[in-house]
Chain A
């Protein structure tokens, strides 16, 4: 079955760019019909969908983050990535990757923005 695993730095300096990668195993991210999403959860808070990349390479980002977000994919490595620029403490959260409408999810990775 498909499994997802996030990786990347757990600490990012303010004003820098947060970069995370999601590695997909047990399936191909280029397979038809799949959305590959990033979702975050601020400490003790609810879930916020960040955006997705479709199997075709099309992307969509939530408007509140659109100016700072890029989601890309490396089909050959079965990976997709999140870049969030100009981060502040408000971007401290657990970041999850997920397939389609949230099935399955990666285990999540905590990213702290602090100097």
Chain B
């Protein structure tokens, strides 16, 4: 199985901050990776697909980059509605696997 190591597991940030979350794959996964945002009590919502493509309707402050084994999700200017938990998902090979999640909290 491909292991997805996501870091950090949590962080505190302020509105307006730039933040970066990283996922590392235990083996190369090309660009077969998505990023998801989950708010409490809600289903996850995809933000980024194919590692760097912005999902329709998602604000442009979200961006993704990377290929192979290292991937990043960047929020250029954190907004109040962005406080949530973020996950990566690799679908390069089965079983598809998620990162452990990054909880973004208000500082």
Contact = CB atoms under 8 A, between A and B. Distances in A.
A37 B91 CA distance: 12
A107 B89 CA distance: 18
A36 interface: no
Contacts of B100: 46
Interface of A: 37, 46-49, 60, 62-63, 96, 101-108
A49 B89 CA distance: 9
A102 B36 contact: yes
A49 B98 contact: yes
Majority secondary structure, B binding face? loop
Given A49-B96, A49-B97, A101 B91 contact: yes
A47 B35 CA distance: 13
Interface of B: 1, 34, 36, 42-46, 49, 55, 87, 89, 91, 94-101
B91 A105 contact: no
Contacts of B44: 47, 96, 102, 105
A108 B40 CA distance: 12
B45 A62 contact: no
A70 B73 CA distance: 34
A45 B52 CA distance: 26
A102 B34 contact: yes
13 contacts: A46-B87, A46-B99, A47-B36, A49-B97, A49-B98, A62-B95, A96-B44, A101-B34, A102-B89, A103-B34, A103-B46, A104-B45, A108-B43
B90 to A, nearest CB: 9
